[in-house]
Structures are given as C-alpha cells and as structure tokens.
C-alpha cells in the first residue's frame, strides 16, 4: 500500500512557520510515495479583488519566491515522492488576472 499525504491551504506568505516546520519534520520521517498539494498553497494576495494595500499588491514576486523555496524544500524532504499540485481558487487568481489583462500583458510573450 502506497503512503499518501494530502496538504492544502498553506497560503504561502500567510503560513505559520512553526506549523510548516512540523509538517516538514513529519514528511521527512514518513516519506510518502505521493504528496498531493491540494490547492491554495500560495495566497496570491497581490492579485486578490479584495481591498489590498499598495504594499500587498506589490508582493507577488515575494510570494512566488516563498512558494519556490517551499517547493524546493518539499522536493529535498521527500526526494522520491511523486508530487501532485492541484490548483485552488487562490492559484486561479493568476489565471484570472492574465485573462482579464491579456492585452496589456502581450509584451510578456516571448519570440
């Protein structure tokens, strides 16, 4: 029987670092074959339609860097695990933003 861990709602940049540390400790000891990140792993505050401060709006790159660091640590912690990332409504914010501002973002398109 495969060992499976499902995690959701880390809300990166609002995560509780002490709890996240405990999660990494557990994962390191348990070594699941499959790890499912079941949505809302990153908060995407910067792209929220809720009232955000200018500082929160400017935080997308910081949140993405934090997400990258967490994902890299997950890979190091469970090097043999299959990691499945399921998008949640918070990750959907990026897709919605791109859809909404596609014309303005055309300059990002590569050659």
- CATH number reported for the structural domain that contains residue 23 in this entry: 3.60.21.10
> Which string of b and e fits 74-105 if b means at least 16 CB within 10 Å?
beebbeebeeeeeebebbebbeebeeeeeeee
Number of other residues whose CB lies within 10 A of the CB of residue 7: 15
Separation CA 64–CA 60 (nearest Å) = 6
Within the chain, what is the greatest distance between any pair of CA atoms? 50
* Structural domain span for residue 102: 4-108
Higher pLDDT, 82 or 108: 82
Count structural domains, the chain.
1
pLDDT-derived band at 21 (thresholds 50, 70, 90) equals: very high
Both tokens of 77, joined, read 């912690």
pLDDT digits (tens, 9 = 90+) for 34-68: 999 998 888 777 777 665 666 766 677 888 888 89
Higher pLDDT, 103 or 30: 30
pTM over cut 0.85: no
**Angular region, 51: left φ>0, alpha ψ -120 to 50, beta rest:** beta
């Amino acid at each position: 029987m495969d060992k499976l861990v499902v995690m959701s709602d880390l809300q990166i940049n609002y995560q509780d670092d002490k709890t996240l540390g405990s999660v990494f400790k557990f994962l390191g000891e348990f070594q699941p074959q499959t790890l499912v990140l079941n949505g809302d792993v990153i908060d995407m505050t910067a792209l929220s339609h809720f009232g955000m401060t200018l500082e929160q709006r400017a935080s997308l790159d910081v949140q993405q860097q934090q997400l990258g660091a967490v994902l890299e640590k997950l890979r190091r912690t469970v090097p043999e695990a299959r990691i499945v990332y399921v998008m949640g409504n918070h990750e959907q914010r990026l897709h919605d933003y791109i859809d909404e501002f596609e014309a303005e973002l055309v300059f990002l398109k590569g050659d």
